[in-house]
Structures are given as C-alpha cells and as structure tokens.
C-alpha cells in the first residue's frame, strides 16, 4: 500500500497536471494548425482570469455565468490576437510559406510583443500584486476522499478538462469545422483549392484555442485565489513543455505529458524545496528537445 | 584511370520505400558522368548519400580511396567534394561576393580569433579566390548586389561558383539546367565541359537529355532506386531497360 | 577610406569628449546613471547581435548570461574582495563557460526549438539566482560597495566611471564589429541563411553556432560586471525573462543583422522611455509596441541584412557596411 503522503502528492500532481493540460490543449491546437508558437497564449489565460474577476466584482453572478462571459472574452481576445499578431505575417497562403521559418519566427516575436503589451497594460491598470477575489467564488472547498484530501476545484477542473478534451476530439474528428481545421493544418493550399476558407478556419482555431485558454485562466485563478498580471507566464511555459513532449501536434500526447509533468513536479517537491519545482519542467523540455530535436514525434526536417 | 569515387552496394530506405537500392558504380578521375532517371528514381537521394546529407542504410562510399560513409557533410566537403542543390539554394540576403566567399572560407577555414586580430593572409586568399570565381562566371559586376536580386539563371551560376570556390576535386551538380531555356542550357553545357576539360571531375543529374547525352562520357541510369544501366551515351540510348523505364511508365 | 576614418574619429570624439562634456555641464547624478546604463545595454545588444542578428539564432535567454557576469563580479567583489580588474574578465569567462556547457547539448537545435531551449536555460539560471540563497543571497540580491579599481587606480568620480564603462563597451563593440564584418561573419551569416547549405560548403555548423553563442555570452558577462559595478546592487529580477526580451527588442528594432542597428536600438529603448518618463511607468509597454512595430513594418523582418537603418547606412556611406572589395578578415 502506498504511503498516504505520496498518495496525497500524487493527487496534487494530478490536479496540477490537469491545469497544465487545460492550457496545453489550446496551445497545441494552434500550433498544430499553424505550426507557430503562440507566445500570447499565457496572456489569453490572464485576460480570462481578469475578465472573470471583473464580472465577479461588479455583478457577482453565478459561477456558470462568469465562465460563459470569460469564454466570450477569450473568443474575442483570440480573434484580436490572430488579426494583430498573425494575420499580417500570413502574406502567402501556400504551405511552404505558411510553415516557413520566416513565418514561424516573425509570428513568435509578434505574439511575444503582443503578450508584453497585454501583460504590461494589465499591470499598469491593476498593479502587479494579487487581486482580491470574492472568497465565496473560490473553488477550494475541501473534500475528504479516504486517505487523501482534494478540493471541489479539482473535480471542476477535471470535469472541464475532460469535456474540453473529448469535445475537441469530437469536433476535430466528426464535424465539418474539424474537417476544415485538419485540412488546413495538413495542407493550407490544398484546403483552399477544395473551397475551404483558410482564413476563417485559422481564426476559428484561434478562437477555440483561446476560449479554452481563458477558461483555464479563470478556473486556476479561482482555484488558487491568485489573479495577477503575470500569472500566465509559467503555465504558458508548462503548456509549451507538454506540447513539445507530447509530439507537437498531438493533443492526446500533450494531455498525457501535462499529467506526467504535474505528477513529476509534485513528487519533486517531496525531495527538494518547492521553489525548485519549475526546474523539473525546464529540464523535461531540454531533455526532450535534445534527445528528440524535433519533438517526440515531430515534423521531419525539410528535405535537402 | 583511378577511381576517385566508388559506391559499393549503396542502399537507403525511407520507411518502406527503398529510394536507393544496392547501387554500385564509380567515377574516375577527370570523368564527366551523368546520372539520369525518371522522377523519384532516387538521384537526389544518391547525391545526398554521397555528400553526407543522408546516412546510407547499408553500403559504402569511398572517396580518393578512403571510406567516407557516414561522415557529416562538412567533413565530406573538406575532403574535396562540393555540391549544388536541386532547388537552388543561394544565401538570399547576402551579397553575391559574400555568397561566393562562403565557399572559399569553408574550404580554407577562418577563425574567430584571427578575424579580430591579424589573419590578413588568409583573408587575402579568400578574397582572391572569390574574385577569381566571380570573374569566371561573369558576376563581378554584381558583386555587391544581394543574391536574392539576381535573375534565376545568374543565381544558378552563383551556386556553381560558390561550389567551385571550394576548389573541389569532385563537383556534384543536381539538375543545374532545370528551369533554363535552350540557349542558357547550351551556354551551361559549354561551361561544364570547360570545367571538365580543365581536369575537374564532375557528376551531374539532369533531366535534359540533350545536355547529358551531349557532354557526358558515361551515363548511369537509375529507376526506382536501382541502377539499370551504366554505359556510354550511345549505348544507353539503345538500352532496352532504359527505354522501358522512361517509356513504360512505372512498373511499381 | 577617409570617410571611414572620419566616422571612427567622430565616434571616439562623441563618446569620449562630447558626451562627457554634456554630462559635466549638467552634472546630475541621474544623467551619469542613464549614460552608463545605456552603455551597458549597448554592449548587451551588440553581443546579442552576434547570435541573433548575424548567426540567426533566436536567443531568448540572453539576460541570464548577463546575470552570471553580474553575480560573479558582485560576489567576487563583496565576498572575496577581488576587485574590478580581475572581476571583469572573470565575469566574462564565467558566463562563457556556462554558455559552453549548456551549448554542448543544445546547439543541434534549430529555429523555434533553439529559441525555446534558450528560454528554458535562461529560466533555469534565473531560478538559480533566485533560489540558491546560500550563494546568490536569493531575492535580496547582492550589495557591492567597492568602487572600480582599475589596475590600481581607484575610480570614484562619476565621470571616471563613465569613462571606464564606455571604454570597455567601445572596445568590446569594436571586437564584435570585427567579428561580424569579416569572413568569419560571413560564415555566421551563412548559418542564418541556410545551415544545410553552409554544411555543404565545409562549414562545421554546430561548432560555429557554439562559438557564436559562447562569444556572445562572454560579452554579456562583461556587461553584467559593468552593471554590478555601476549600480552597486543587483537582484535576480535584473536578469529575468523580460530583460532578455528587452535586449532582443533592441536588436530587432535596430534591424537584425546590423550592428549599428543594435546600438541604436539599445539607445532608443533606454533613452526614449526616460524622456517619456512623465507618462508613467510605461517602458515595457513601449518596448512591446516598438518591437511589434519593427517586426510588422520592416518588410524583411528577421531575415535580411535588414534594417530600419539601411538608409542611415547609405547616408553614412561605407563606414558601416564594408564593401566587398576591401573586406578582409578583421581589416576594413
Ligand atoms: N527524406 C525523405 N523521406 C522520405 N522519403 C524520401 C526522402 N527523400 C526522398 N524520399 C523519397 O525517395 C524517392 C527518391 O527521391 P529523389 O528525390 O531521390 O528522386 P529524384 O530522382 O531526385 O527525383 P527528381 O527527378 O524528381 O528530382 C522519392 O520517392 C522520394 O519521395
Ligand atoms: Mg532530385
């Protein structure tokens, strides 16, 4: 029988992993389609959290309403982000230039710039410290489950992550939207010749990914009771790590890697001080990158 | 005639596909050898295997009597082999002169330290050689233009000049005439023969039959990765297997 | 030739006569401070220029190597009483050594994977600055009381410090200029343009990338030492991710691949927010906006020997862009 202490750590790790997964799903979706790193995904998450915070502070509606508004804000933010930071660099829509190095690096930097602007603006408006959240909204009510303690937030996050994951899988596999997303991700030019509106599909991908990001933001904010302008940075990195480990464009891969990451981190804190926990993610990232330079099952290097 | 390059049972699989299948041949010192075959026959893959860009699944490559199988590209290059690419790869945002200088400095070597203090002799060598090549292909007027601004044909010459600036013993050209018109092709074949007559060993992939048949002493034919002929142009033209490969379409 | 000489003399006069004269005329500590900070960031941007602008490797962890230099210099000074004269080279070498170690496994990576690996390395080093309390003093940072001793001379006056910092910066920038404006620089550029093709030309891509990375870290380390000695206090947040981005923005804004661009980018992003100080603490927003604008409006973006400043080069003539016929290794 496992030591209850480790069982508890495992549970904490699972819920941490779930949070990373929540973030990684949207991130991977965008990468898979456009082959670009969306550095501003972390800020979408922050914006989601702040949108929820404002809702709670001004109207105090039921939690479900808060989540719906957050999703709407996320959708809007994703749309805006795509128009501002990605569209201008998609001058040609053939596959070569859409997946070219130039496009990837330019959009990496433009989304990075956008993320700075968003984060710093939030800091200018709200200050860099933690925002106070109405305590009744926090999702940290304890629940005793045999030897381990969890909070209701764990269940909520688990449920949301599961719904998001399954919903997305369904969407991608069985709906026409999913079909066009997959087509664009495979071959943008070909998709266009088949009459798919690539531009709209890309926006849609951003919107879906950003809705998920924003939702993750508010849930985690309420889970920890910590909402602040730079809250998106670390989860953003973790999502990236999960994506790289999981094989770059595989959402199930990213989810599994996020869980591994969460569990490893929480296990690591039983050995070393918790301030070093982030080291685990970076080490994972480097190891994956070094031994699988293109990600675990990532795209091949262009041919000579 | 001593063999400069020897290929021995060279094979490469990509997943289930055998792109190059047990190819054995040689290129003698001073020869001008053509490599032809239908699209997807494995010509570029064979070049990649020779120049170190792809590792063979089995088989060996010997260059100047030494085994070079599995060496990384830059080491192969240092041993005196230089190549051009099928899809024309010049350094677009560098000047024409700088492009060519990369070939020269790749062969001669430059150090970080000597670029800060001293190193005049080496840099003199590099610039001499680069200018020589520039003149050779008639690009000295455009030395300071960005390579991206050259016409397609000139970029082709630039790529060849860059490879020549390494002063290689073996030059491998992957479809140098692709995209050129008749007169340009004629000019190019003139240039290639000239290089060859100066003693440079050349191996060339080309789809333009008149070019290959016109200038090569020997032609190797690949089909579906396998060598199906290795003979003089006149013989190859009458070879039944070659005719089948080209006319009979795919037999896969 | 004479035009180049003129540019050089002009630069020297500007740095060592005009600016000090202006500083002395106003004689405000605050101005000295800005001038030295600007010098430190010019050096940082110039060192990143080597890796990102010339060799085309997107480096997102540069500030960490700057941090290593700063910590080494500050800790040597405050704990072991090893002064500036030895601390400065030690800072550079320490940064270069760490860069060498992390480069060994990561230099095979390309494009965004390289970028993310450097981000991870930068963050790991930052975590070490922040959490290895027994050595780095953690979030409290390190205080460095000793002034600059320069081969036995104690330099205490503000103008003296300005001269030392600027001289080291200028010397380093000259070295970086020679490195990049030579055939060695061409070899690095060929990596940026097409590394596979460079390999076919006999260039050892991995070794060359590694050299660029290590050399750049060395100069970042020097900048760190200068920073530690001019501010007298360092803390982990001086070397976090947003500092890496600030330096990257300087290089991007000036135009990737152009050393004068990097220098001007650094001056722009340090000095302009000071001028706009009244608007509030908007420096970082400004950095983000400027960076975005630079990426968007420089049509060639990252990959040209590009710059917003191409026109400036043209105006200033060949002083900034060696023409092909007189380009030699290290001699222009
Ligand atoms: N890196 C790779 N991965 C998988 N398959 C490859 C790879 N490189 C080449 N192939 C396959 O190997 C086969 C031979 O390709 P290769 O490029 O060598 O042909 P080729 O003779 O040069 O054709 P072409 O005349 O069109 O240039 C093709 O079917 C190609 O798809
Ligand atoms: Mg080919």
**What confidence tens digit (pLDDT) does each residue in B44-73 have?**
999 999 998 888 889 899 998 888 888 899
More confident residue, C45 or C264: C45
Q: Please, which residues have CB within 8 angstroms of residue C288's CB and are 6 or more apart in sequence?
A: A113, A114, A115, A116, A117, A120, C249
Residues B72 and B175 in one domain: yes
- Please give the backbone phi and psi of residue A39, each rounded to the nearest 5 degrees, phi first: -70, -15
Is the CB of residue A235 less than 8 Å from the CB of residue A23? yes
Domain end position, chosen among B167, B191, B212: B167
pLDDT tier at B2, thresholds 50, 70, 90: low
| CATH number for the segment(s) C3-316 | 1.10.3470
Helix H or strand E segment including A159? helix A152-174
B240 lines ligand 1 (CB under 6 A): no
Interface of B with C (CB under 8 A): 51, 53, 72-74, 77-78, 82-83, 85, 89, 91-95, 97-98, 101-103, 105-107, 110-112, 114-120, 122-124, 126-127, 143-144, 146, 162-163, 166
Q: Is residue B13 within 8 Å of B57, Cβ to Cβ?
A: yes
Neighbouring residues of the ion ligand 2, judged by CB less than 5 Å: B 44, 86
- Cα(C49)–Cα(C252) distance, integer angstroms: 9
Question: Domain residue spans in chain C?
Answer: 3-316
Angstrom distance (rounded) from CA B100 to CA B133: 8
Task: Tell me, yes or no, whether B125 lies in a domain.
Answer: yes
String of DSSP letters for C198-264: HHHTT--HHHHHHHHHHHHHHHHHHHHHHHHHHHSEE-GGGGSHHHHHHHHHHHHHH-TT-HHHHHH
Same domain for B73 and B175, yes or no, is: yes
B85-141, pLDDT tens digit by residue? Answer: 888 888 888 888 889 989 888 777 777 777 777 767 777 888 888 888 888 888 888
Give the mean model confidence (pLDDT) for residues C67-76.
92
Query: Which residues of chain C lie closer than 8 angstroms to A240, CB-CB?
Result: 116
Bridge partners of B218? B33
Is the C-beta atom of B127 inside 6 A of ligand 1? no
Rounded to two decimals, the pTM is 0.84
Is the confidence at residue A252, as pLDDT, over 80? Answer: yes
Virtual CA dihedral for A186, A187, A188, A190, nearest 10 degrees?
-140
Q: Which residue has the tokens 């960490």?
A: C64
Q: Is the pLDDT of residue A31 over 60?
A: yes
Read off the pLDDT band of A295 (50, 70, 90).
low
Q: What are phi and psi of B201, to 5 degrees?
A: -80, 130
Contact C292 A114 (CB under 8 A): yes
Are B184 and B218 contained in the same domain?
yes
Which residues on neighbouring strands pair with residue B10, listed in sequence order?
Answer: B23
Q: Which domain holds residue B111?
A: 92-167
Handedness of CA A46, A47, A52, A54 (dihedral sign): positive
Domain end call among B167, B195, B218:
B167
Name the most confidently modeled range: A32-36, B86-90, C210-214. C210-214
User: Is the domain of B6 the same as that of B115?
Assistant: no
Q: Is residue B86 assigned to a domain?
A: no
Query: 3-state class of B228 per DSSP?
Result: strand
CA distance B34 to C176: 46
Between C20 and B83, residue with greater pLDDT: B83
In angstroms, the CA B205 to CA B20 distance is 15
CA distances from C199 to B4, B76, C108, C188 (A): 22, 9, 13, 12
Strands annotated E in chain C: 142-143, 148-150, 153-155, 233-234
**Mean pLDDT of the region C296-305:** 50
**Interatomic CA distance for residues C196 and C104, integer angstroms:** 19
Do B50 and B119 lie in one domain? The reply is no
pLDDT digit string, tens, across residues A41-91: 999 999 999 999 888 888 878 878 888 999 999 999 999 998 888 887 776
Say how far apart CA B171 and CA C32 lie, in whole Å: 60
For residue C138, pLDDT over 80 is answered with no
List of residues 6+ apart from A158 with CB closer than 8 A: A15, A18
On whether both B75 and B172 belong to a single domain, the answer is yes
Q: Which of C179, C196, C202 sits opposite B106 (nearest CB)?
A: C202
Q: Find chains touching chain C: ≥3 CB pairs under 8 Å.
A: A, B
Per-residue pLDDT for C116 more than 90? no
Helix axes C259-275, C283-297, angle to 10 degrees: 140
> Least CB-CB distance to B82: which of C200, C305, C323?
C200
Between β-strands B226-231 and B66-67, what pairing exists: parallel, antiparallel or unpaired?
A: unpaired
Which of B167, B190, B212 is the endpoint of a domain?
A: B167
- Pairing mode, strands B170-174 and B81-83: parallel
User: Which pLDDT value is given to residue A62?
Assistant: 83
The whole-angstrom separation of Cα B230 and Cα B239 is 10
Q: Whose CA is nearest to atom 11 of ligand 1?
A: B19
Distance CA C147, CA C229 (A): 7
DSSP B148: G
B5 and B39 part of one domain? yes
**Alpha-carbon distance C280 to C268, whole Å?**
17
What is this model's ipTM?
0.85
| B59 DSSP 8-state letter | E
Per-residue pLDDT at B252: 40
B48 near A CB under 8 A? yes
Say whether C288 and A279 touch across the interface (CB within 8 A): no
* pLDDT bracket for residue C132 (50, 70, 90): confident
Per-residue b or e along B36-48, where b marks 16 or more CB atoms closer than 10 Å to that residue's CB: bbbebbbbbbbbb
- CATH number, domain of B188, equals 3.40.50.300
- With a cut of 80, say whether residue C190 has pLDDT above it: yes
CA–chain centroid gap for C277, Å, is 24
CA C83, CA C73: separation in Å to the nearest integer? 8
Q: Does C2 score more than 80 pLDDT?
A: no
- pLDDT given at position C332: 22
Q: Spell out the residues 6+ positions from residue A272 whose beta carbon is closer than 8 angstroms to its own.
A: none
Ramachandran area for residue A174 (φ above 0: left; ψ -120 to 50: alpha; else beta)? alpha
Cβ-defined contact of C120 to A282 (cutoff 8 Å): yes
**Is the CB of B14 inside a 6 Å radius of any atom of ligand 1?**
yes
Give the one of B115, B118, B126 whose C-beta lies nearest to C179's C-beta: B115
Number of domains in chain B: 2
Sign of torsion over alpha carbons C110, C321, C40, C252 = negative
CB A202 within 8 A of CB A81: no
């Amino acid at each position: 029988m496992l030591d209850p202490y480790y069982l508890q750590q495992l549970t904490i790790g699972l819920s941490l992993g779930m949070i990373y997964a929540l973030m990684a799903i949207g991130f991977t979706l965008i990468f898979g389609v456009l082959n670009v790193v969306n550095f501003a995904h972390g800020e979408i998450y922050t914006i989601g959290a702040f949108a929820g915070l404002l809702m709670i502070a001004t109207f105090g509606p039921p939690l479900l309403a808060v989540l719906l508004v957050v999703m709407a804000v996320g959708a809007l933010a994703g749309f805006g982000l795509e128009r501002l930071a990605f569209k201008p660099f998609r001058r040609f829509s053939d596959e070569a230039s859409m997946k070219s190095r130039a496009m990837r690096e330019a959009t990496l930097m433009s989304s990075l710039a956008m993320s700075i602007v968003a984060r710093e603006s939030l800091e200018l408006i709200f200050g860099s410290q933690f925002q106070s959240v109405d305590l009744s909204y926090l999702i940290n009510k304890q629940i005793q489950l045999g030897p381990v303690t969890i909070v209701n937030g764990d269940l909520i996050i688990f449920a949301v992550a599961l719904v998001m994951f399954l919903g997305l899988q369904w969407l991608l596999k069985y709906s026409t939207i999913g079909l066009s997303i997959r087509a664009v991700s495979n071959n943008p030019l070909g998709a266009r010749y088949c009459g798919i509106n690539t531009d709209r599909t890309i926006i849609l991908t951003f919107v879906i990914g950003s809705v998920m990001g924003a939702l993750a933001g508010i849930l985690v904010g309420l889970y920890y009771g910590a909402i602040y302008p730079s809250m998106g940075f670390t989860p953003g990195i973790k999502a990236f790590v999960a994506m790289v480990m999981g094989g770059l464009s595989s959402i199930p891969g990213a989810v599994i890697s996020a869980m591994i990451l969460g569990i490893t981190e929480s296990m690591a804190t039983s050995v070393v001080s918790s301030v070093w926990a982030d080291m685990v993610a970076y080490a994972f990232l480097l190891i994956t990158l070094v031994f699988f330079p293109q990600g675990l099952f990532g795209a091949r290097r262009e041919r000579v | 005639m001593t063999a400069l390059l020897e290929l021995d049972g060279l094979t490469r699989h990509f997943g289930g596909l055998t792109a190059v299948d047990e190819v054995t041949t040689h290129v003698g010192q001073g020869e001008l050898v053509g490599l032809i075959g239908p699209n997807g026959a494995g010509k570029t893959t064979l070049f990649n295997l020779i120049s170190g860009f792809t590792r063979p699944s089995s088989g060996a490559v010997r260059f100047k009597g030494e085994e070079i199988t599995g060496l990384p590209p830059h080491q192969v290059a240092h041993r005196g082999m230089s190549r051009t690419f099928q899809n024309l790869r010049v350094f677009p945002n560098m000047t024409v002169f700088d492009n060519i200088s990369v070939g020269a400095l790749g062969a001669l070597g430059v150090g970080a330290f000597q670029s800060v203090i001293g190193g005049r002799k080496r840099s003199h060598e590099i610039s001499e050689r680069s200018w020589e090549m520039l003149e050779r292909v008639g690009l000295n007027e455009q030395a300071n233009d960005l390579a991206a601004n050259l016409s397609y044909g000139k970029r082709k010459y630039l790529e060849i000049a860059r490879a020549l600036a390494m002063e290689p013993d073996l030059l491998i050209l992957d479809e140098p005439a692709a995209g050129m018109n008749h007169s340009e092709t004629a000019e190019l074949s003139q240039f290639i023969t000239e290089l060859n007559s100066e003693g440079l060993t050349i191996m060339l992939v080309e789809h333009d039959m008149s070019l290959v048949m016109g200038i090569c002493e020997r032609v190797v034919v690949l089909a579906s990765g396998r060598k199906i002929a290795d003979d003089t142009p006149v013989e190859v033209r009458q070879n039944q297997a070659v005719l089948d490969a080209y006319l009979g379409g795919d037999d896969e | 030739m004479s035009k180049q000489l003129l540019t050089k003399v002009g630069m020297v006069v500007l740095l060592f006569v005009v600016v000090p004269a202006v500083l002395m005329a106003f004689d405000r500590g605050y101005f000295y401070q800005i001038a030295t900070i600007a010098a430190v960031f010019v050096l940082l941007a110039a060192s990143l220029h080597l890796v990102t602008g010339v060799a085309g490797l997107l480096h997102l962890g540069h500030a960490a190597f700057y941090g290593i230099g700063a910590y080494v210099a500050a800790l040597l000074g405050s704990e072991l009483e090893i002064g500036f004269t030895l601390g400065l080279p030690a800072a550079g070498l320490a940064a270069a050594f760490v860069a060498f170690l992390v480069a060994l496994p990561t230099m095979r990576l390309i494009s965004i994977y390289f970028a993310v690996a450097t981000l991870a390395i930068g963050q790991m080093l930052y975590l070490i600055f922040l959490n290895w309390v027994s050595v780095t003093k953690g979030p409290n940072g390190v205080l460095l009381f000793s002034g600059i001793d320069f081969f036995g001379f104690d330099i205490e006056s503000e103008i003296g410090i300005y001269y030392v910092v600027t001289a080291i910066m200028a010397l380093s920038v000259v070295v970086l200029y020679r490195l990049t404006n030579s055939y060695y620089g061409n070899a690095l550029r060929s990596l940026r343009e097409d590394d596979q093709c460079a390999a076919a030309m006999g260039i050892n891509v991995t070794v060359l990338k590694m050299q660029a990375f290590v050399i750049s870290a060395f100069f970042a380390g020097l900048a760190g030492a200068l920073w530690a000695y001019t501010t007298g206090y360092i803390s982990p947040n001086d070397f976090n991710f947003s500092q890496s981005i600030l330096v990257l923005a300087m290089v991007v804004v000036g135009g990737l691949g152009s050393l004068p661009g990097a220098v001007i980018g650094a001056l722009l992003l340090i000095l302009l927010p000071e001028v706009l100080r009244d608007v509030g603490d908007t420096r970082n927003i400004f950095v983000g906006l400027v960076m975005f604008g630079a990426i968007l409006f420089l049509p060639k973006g990252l990959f040209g020997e590009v710059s917003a400043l191409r026109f400036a080069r043209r105006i200033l003539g060949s002083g900034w862009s060696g023409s092909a016929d007189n380009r030699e290794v290290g001699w222009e």
